[in-house]
Structure 1
Amino acid sequence: MKIRAATFNLRNSSAPDGDNAWPKRRAAAVAAIELLDADVVGLQEVLPDQLDYLRFRFPKYEIVGAGRDDGMSAGEHSSVLVRPGDWRIERSETRWLSDDPGTPGSVGWDAHLTRVATLVWLRHRSGTTIGVLNTHYDHAGEVAQLQSSRLVAKWTTGDLPWIVMGDLNATPDSPPLKALTDAGLRYAVPADAGGSWHDFTGAEDDERIDHILISPAWTVTEAAVSHFRPGGRLPSDHWPVLATLTL
């Protein structure tokens, strides 16, 4: 039983990025997602207009995840895309990275912004169910980052095989990542695979802040940081990270 999973910070469409603004790179972003050839993709920083474009370009995909501001459509989404095939969404929910995870718009600890996690339970055609969690940690609040990891670890305990992925705004040797590995999760993509954030420079050796972690039941058969530049265009200010996993 195999699944190919990827995480990709899409860079929000409201950012003043000049020649790298969303309208100029959205086709490249979609091409980059297609080239990942993933069964499930976790996206971060997705605003409503970007979500509309993704739904238009991926009409057969299941796409879930609520807006962080109101629990419906407002604000950034940590969207999960599932392509048609062996895996289907059994159920999904959005939780807030705060001490009140069920309250839309809640801000956790010293975080500068509202942050969410999208949890998805996927059922294989064979009947096996797995969990996928896609999230985007706060960029500045160190307490919030650590507490977010503690929440994620709590939510992914148990016998269900889990895939945890997202922009964690933290490097592999940081306390938030150590909290996840101490809880029993392990890296699917090794730290020496290269950086994932490049700030539209195209650098491949900058910080790794985008991660895929897995529970012990999984075996990694392939893992990489993708450096696709469809048509020579950078699809985002992050590189996608992907892994092929088997049970």
Structure 2
Amino acid sequence: MKIRAATFNIRNSSAPDGDNAWPVRRDATVAAIEHLDADVVGLQEVLPDQLEYLRWRFPRYEIVGVGRDDGMDAGEHCTVMVRPGDWRVDKQETRWLSDDPGTPGSVGWDAHLTRIATLVWLRHRNGTTVGVANAHYDHAGEVAQLQSSRLIARWTTGALPWIVMGDLNATPDSPALKVLTEAGLRYAVPIAAGGSWHDFTGAEDDERIDHILVSAGWTVDEAAVSHYRPGGRLPSDHWPVMATLSL
């Protein structure tokens, strides 16, 4: 039983990115998602107009997640896309990375912004259930990053196999990531695979802040950072990270 998982920060459409602005690169972003050939994709920084576009371009996918500002539509989403096939969404919820995870818009600790995680329970056609957590940590608050990992570790413990992924805004040697590995999660994508953030430079050796981690029980068959540039266009300021897993 296999699942191919990917995480991709698509860069929000409100950013003043000039030649790399969302209207210019949105076709390349879709092509990059298609190229991942993944069963489940966790996206970050998805604003409502981007979500509408993705729903239009991927009409057969299950696409879930709510806006971080109000728990409905407002603000960035940590969207989870599940393509039609062996897996379907059994249950999903969004939680806030704060000391009040059930309150929409809550800001945690020293975070500069509201941050969220979308948790999805996927059921295989044979009845097996696995968990997927797609998170976007704060970019500046080190305490918030650490506490966010403690929340994620707590939410993904137990017998259920979990895939934890997202833009965690932290490198593998950071205290926040060590919380996850000390909780029993392990990296699916080797650190030697290269960086994931490049700030629209196309660099492949910058910091790895986008991660896929898995709980016990998963076997990693293949994993990589994707450097696909559809038509030579950078699809985002991050590279997607992907892994094929067996259970």
**Same fold, judged at TM 0.5 (above):** yes
SS of the equivalent of 1:158 reads coil
Unaligned segments of structure 1, at least 5 residues: none
Q: Distance in 2 between matches of 1:66 and 1:22?
A: 20
1:32 aligns with 2:35: no
Map of 2:114 onto structure 1 = 114
- CA shift at 1:225, angstroms? 0.1
- CA shift at 1:174, angstroms? 0.5
- CA shift at 1:47, angstroms? 0.0
1:64 aligns with 2:56: no
- CA shift at 1:159, angstroms? 0.2
Percentage of matched positions with identical amino acids: 85
- CA shift at 1:89, angstroms? 0.2
Amino acid at match of 1:168: L
Map of 2:175 onto structure 1 = 175
1:157 aligns with 2:154: no
Kindly provide the CA deviation profile for residues 67-106 of structure 1, in whole angstroms up to 9, marking residues without a partner as x: 0000000000000000000000001000000000000000
- Equivalences, count: 247
- CA shift at 1:239, angstroms? 0.1
Displaced runs of 4 or more, over 6 A: none
Q: Distance in 1 between matches of 2:5 and 2:139?
A: 23
Map of 1:146 onto structure 2 = 146
SS of the equivalent of 1:14 reads coil
Map of 1:209 onto structure 2 = 209
Map of 1:200 onto structure 2 = 200
Map of 1:185 onto structure 2 = 185
Kindly provide the CA deviation profile for residues 98-131 of structure 1, in whole angstroms up to 9, marking residues without a partner as x: 0000000000000000000000000000000000
Amino acid at match of 2:118: T
Map of 1:92 onto structure 2 = 92
Amino acid at match of 2:160: L
| CA RMSD after TM alignment | 0.2
Unaligned segments of structure 2, at least 5 residues: none
Map of 2:241 onto structure 1 = 241
- CA shift at 1:236, angstroms? 0.0
- CA shift at 1:215, angstroms? 0.2
- CA shift at 1:198, angstroms? 0.1
Map of 2:74 onto structure 1 = 74
Q: Distance in 2 between matches of 1:141 and 1:47?
A: 22
Map of 1:134 onto structure 2 = 134
SS of the equivalent of 2:101 reads coil
TM-score by length of 2: 1.00
Q: Distance in 2 between matches of 1:212 and 1:180?
A: 11
Amino acid at match of 1:152: I
Amino acid at match of 2:212: I
